[in-house]
Amino acid sequence: MTVTPSDRSRIGAGSATLMAALMVVGISSAFASSQAATKPEDIMVPWFEADPYWPQPLPNHWLLGNTIGLDVDKQDNVWVLHRPQTLEFMESYRTRGESDCCSAAPDVLAFDPAGTVIRYWGKAEGHDWPTSNHGLTIDGDGNVWLGGNGADQPGAAAGSAEQFVGRDMRPLEGGEPGVYHDSFILKMSPDGKFLGEIGRANGSKGSLDTENVRGVAVVRFLPGTNELVAADGYGNRRVSVWDAATLRFKRMWGAYGKQPSDEKVPPYDPTSPQFGFPVHCVEPTKDGLLYVCDRINNRVQIFKFDGTYVREFTLETNTKGDGAPWGIAFSKDPEQSFMFIIDGSNEKIHVFDRKSEKELYAFGGGGRMAGQFYAIHNIALDSKGNIYTTETYRGQRVQKFTHKQLVPLSKLLKEKAVGNSLINP
């Protein structure tokens, strides 16, 4: 979608100047106030367009498997985590010396803003490593925190012939109470050196355990504190908080801020007294709120940092399968006016007004082309407001959506598509 000369004349020179000034930082507080006086269909919303040439081709005939973790550091480098063992037999010929293509990339890769790989590393000996990588976060010092949701024990090396002998093709995501391998969170240096660990492999004793986690989907850092919060997650049904320096337990809670429980509950119930399976995201705001994705129950619950329940809202409540709210990110303006919720079952990004919790529009749609999604799994924004996403299962990629400018919502709805991304697919 382009802004034509006639568009500019309708917008007016003053408004065009204002929109240009807001392209980097998003919507300002004063501009947000002015929107309240306009008709709902004319409010200004962010317009994104997929960049089909980002990232650059990976070196060394590498491929990504289930792409399962994502964050952006202070330099706007984009960090990605994937599962090397999820490549198919024909995708890993090079690993076994059977053809020129291909082999799995290392577990962790960092791309510069232009999309070129600048760092990469993976599993090392001498410390725990997930059997199923899940979630990546960069802290203020540039260190890398990794989760995992593998219930099973480590298997054969990724791409080896042994990996495909009698391979169990059940989905990697999941797990039942009992011995659960990925009962830990790893802290790694930017170049992949082991720095510390919360929990230990096979250590979990359930959702009330204060020494271990179980199947963590992602971790985040609570602003203004030295605390780490975990979506804890695939084996447990809770949010857990840990001291980021000492790695010691601080507090936990379940749905509605109550004590978590491992009692099984039916899925797809937006009124469930417990979190479903999994608790898939924890995303803090600058104003002291924590948004939690109860994915399979198609709802988002909001808490204060101390675990006090505030409120909830639902999303795509008829969704079955893997549920609707997979992850959340916020716009980069001081008020974090816009909330972006990724939906890996309905294959779109929902754009909300955060204050009213009203959905403004959605974009994406299911497919393999740039701007479409297959199992969109993570979302992160850089300092310019550009959106990055990952895709799991056979999606196996990372995409960039460039933040172009703010446009009237009515214009986006009239266009019905931006590039390959459908509007309200």
At 63-105, the pLDDT tens digits run 999 999 999 999 999 999 999 999 999 999 999 999 999 999 9
C-beta of residue 31 within 8 angstroms of C-beta of residue 22: yes
Residue 255 CB burial class (10 angstroms; 0-12, 13-18, ≥19): buried
pLDDT band at 42 (very low <50, low <70, confident <90, very high): confident
Q: Which helix (H) or strand (E) holds 185?
A: strand 184-188
Dihedrals φ, ψ of 247, to 5°?
Answer: 65, 25
**DSSP 8-state symbol, 107:** S
Q: Residue 12's Cα: distance from chain center in Å?
A: 38
Distance CA(96)–CA(85), nearest Å, equals: 14
Distance CA(292)–CA(374), nearest Å, equals: 22
Distance CA(425)–CA(421), nearest Å, equals: 8
Find residue 239's DSSP bridge partners.
Answer: 231, 253
Residues 132-170 pLDDT 10s: 999 999 999 999 999 999 999 999 999 999 999 875 444
Residue 290 neighbours by CB distance under 10 Å: 22
**DSSP 8-state symbol, 70:** E
Residue 230: CA count within 13 A, CB half-sphere:
39
Q: Which of 294, 298, 292, 293 is nearest to 318 (CA)?
A: 298
Assigned token pair, 39? 């008709």
* Residue 177 scores a pLDDT above 90: no
Q: The CATH number of 50-400 is which of 3.40.50.620, 2.120.10.30, 3.40.47.10, 3.40.50.300? A: 2.120.10.30
Q: Average pLDDT for residues 307-313, to the nearest whole number?
A: 98
* Residue 282 scores a pLDDT above 90: yes
Dihedrals φ, ψ of 145, to 5°?
Answer: -110, 130
Q: Which helix (H) or strand (E) holds 289?
A: strand 289-294
Query: What percentage of the chain has pLDDT greater than the value 70?
Result: 88
**pLDDT for 33:** 38
Residue whose token pair is 């417990």:
274
Listed in sequence order, the residues at least 6 apart from 346 whose beta carbon sits closer than 8 Å to its beta carbon are: 316, 319, 324
Count helices and strands in the chain by DSSP H and E runs: 4, 28
List the chain domain ranges: 50-400
Assigned token pair, 319? 């969704």
Q: ω into residue 46 within 30 of 0, thus cis?
A: no
Q: Which of 272, 252, 146, 257 is nearest to 207 (CA)?
A: 252
**CA distance readout (Å), 132 to 68, 69, 153, 172, 198:** 9, 11, 10, 7, 17
- CB-based contacts of 169-174 (< 8 A; 24+ apart in sequence): 172/66, 172/83, 172/86, 172/132, 173/132, 173/134, 173/149, 173/234, 173/278, 174/149, 174/234, 174/277
Find residue 108's DSSP bridge partners.
Answer: 81, 121
**pLDDT for 174:** 45
**DSSP 8-state symbol, 295:** G
Assigned token pair, 113? 């803003």
pLDDT band at 17 (very low <50, low <70, confident <90, very high): very low
* Residue 406 scores a pLDDT above 80: yes
Distance CA(117)–CA(61), nearest Å, equals: 13
pTM assigned to the model = 0.89
Distance CA(47)–CA(349), nearest Å, equals: 12
Q: Which of 95, 97, 115, 98 is nearest to 106 (CA)?
A: 95
Find residue 358's DSSP bridge partners.
Answer: 353
Q: Average pLDDT for residues 118-143, to the nearest whole number?
A: 96
Q: Average pLDDT for residues 6-21, to the nearest whole number?
A: 39
pLDDT band at 325 (very low <50, low <70, confident <90, very high): very high
**pLDDT for 3:** 41
Distance CA(210)–CA(232), nearest Å, equals: 12
Distance CA(145)–CA(189), nearest Å, equals: 9
Distance CA(228)–CA(212), nearest Å, equals: 14
Distance CA(274)–CA(264), nearest Å, equals: 9
Distance CA(193)–CA(199), nearest Å, equals: 18
* Residue 334 scores a pLDDT above 80: yes
**Alpha-carbon radius of gyration of the chain:** 21
**pLDDT for 167:** 57
